[in-house]
Amino acid sequence: MLLMKKDMGGAACVLALARMVMKLLEHWQLGTEDQAALLGLAAGNRAALARYRRGESIGSSRDQLERVGHLLGIHKSLRLLFPQNPDLAYRWMTTRNRAFDNRTPVEVIRDQGFAGLLIVRGYLDRARGR
């Protein structure tokens, strides 16, 4: 019975992750292709995005769960860096940045995949002094 409760808690956590990350991608005002790219999905995989929007659980692959964790970490860093300006925190992902050769963080992640996600997260961690 304890194992069942633990599994149910894990399932609820994965459902909550899907809702959180989809809400975050909405705040960042990303198109479907960019949303899919950030989550490591094929560009045309609108079905998975629709499932996540409906509150179905995020994929259980390690890659996808790690991506979600990094995306939420990026969001946390942005909120800490711009506590008085949530609009700037939400726009930052789609704003060109000299640190990324005048590309947006979304473009870096889209073009470089998981490595790009780590580059953007690392940049923000350094900006926070971590």
Does residue 126 or residue 57 have the better pLDDT? 126
**Residue 103 forms beta bridges with which residues?**
97
pLDDT in tens, 32-79: 999 999 999 887 788 888 888 887 777 767 888 899 999 999 999 999
- At 111, the amino acid letter reads D
- At 57, the amino acid letter reads S
- The CA distance from 103 to 30, in Å, is 15
Residues 78 and 124: beta-carbon distance below 8 Å? yes
Q: Is 103 helix (H, G, I), strand (E, B) or coil?
A: strand
Q: Helices (H) and strands (E) in the chain — how many of each?
A: 7, 0
